[in-house]
Amino acid sequence: MHESVGRRNAVVRLPASPAGIRALADLLAEGIGVHAALVFSGGRCAEVLDAYVAGMERALAAGRPLGAAPLVVSFPVGRFDREVEARLDALGVPAGAEVRGAAGLAVARRMYRVREERLSGDWWRVLRANGALQPRLLWGPGAEGGVGALVGWNTALALSVETLEAAALAPALTGDTLLNADAEAACALRALERLGVSAPEVAAVLEAAELHRLRHGRPVRRGSVPAASPGSGSSSGPAAEQP
């Protein structure tokens, strides 16, 4: 499918489950870019980045151009925050408490630190010198901390047009807010832990729920699907209706 599309910037979206991470390394080794989705923790982000390096090593050994296989790692910041806020509500934590709205940003900052650590080794420099692209972090919409709190090199934000326009007019944008913010993030996560909200547990619950949704939320189409005629906007025919 990737070959038939014929676009260098086309990436395959995979959930960052253990099976997805193994497939991620295989795809990168074949020169196919990947969007690693549903990453909810710094630990899972580290596993994805390790798989990226492993895939790049295999691509290099096979003589493939490393720049043809980008990696994007996405974290649904808003989804994480909503789960944590619901738990804080259940615990009776006041709305104005310092821990409110801090979870998603803290995990994002931890992921950014993990990425910096993984890209500081000598072997990464070898891969980079041979054309490997720096993996990018993509923050999902709905972050409580706002656009300005998630600005960093080689990162991106998924925003609605309205949020983007509001951010462009806001005076609070001050440049990079992710670099060297790991200590503050660790304090926020420890504060949540003391209240009984475990970030790793939240990550596990969200990952399980999202994987269940992916497995059961829509039918898997099998067989060939006839190409849509120009202007039709969709495919039709018996093959498209197969379960």
pLDDT band per the 50, 70, 90 thresholds, residue 143:
low
| Mean pLDDT of the 50-59 span | 96
Contact 29, 55 (CB under 8 A): yes
Kindly state the helix (H) or strand (E) to which residue 188 belongs, with its residue range. Answer: helix 182-194
- Torsion sign across C-alpha atoms 115, 204, 201, 144: positive
Q: Is a pLDDT exceeding 90 seen at residue 61?
A: yes
| Mean pLDDT of the 170-190 span | 88
pLDDT at 225: 42
User: Which of 93-102, 138-147, 173-182, 225-234 shows the lowest per-residue confidence on average (mean pLDDT)?
Assistant: 225-234
Q: Is a pLDDT exceeding 90 seen at residue 146?
A: no
Share of the chain above pLDDT 90, in %: 65
pLDDT at 145: 56
Report the predicted TM-score, pTM, of the whole model to 2 decimal places.
0.84
pLDDT at 33: 94
* pLDDT, greater one: 83 or 228: 83
User: What pLDDT, in 10s, does the model give residues 64-119?
Assistant: 999 999 999 999 999 999 999 999 999 999 998 999 999 999 999 999 999 999 99
Per-chain mean pLDDT for the chain: 86
Q: Is a pLDDT exceeding 50 seen at residue 233?
A: no
Q: Is a pLDDT exceeding 50 seen at residue 10?
A: yes
Q: Is 211 helix (H, G, I), strand (E, B) or coil?
A: helix
DSSP string for 99-166: TTT-HHHHHHHHHHHHHHHHTTSHHHHHHHHTTPPPPEEEEPS--TT-GGGG--TTEEE---HHHHHH
Share of the chain above pLDDT 70, in %: 87
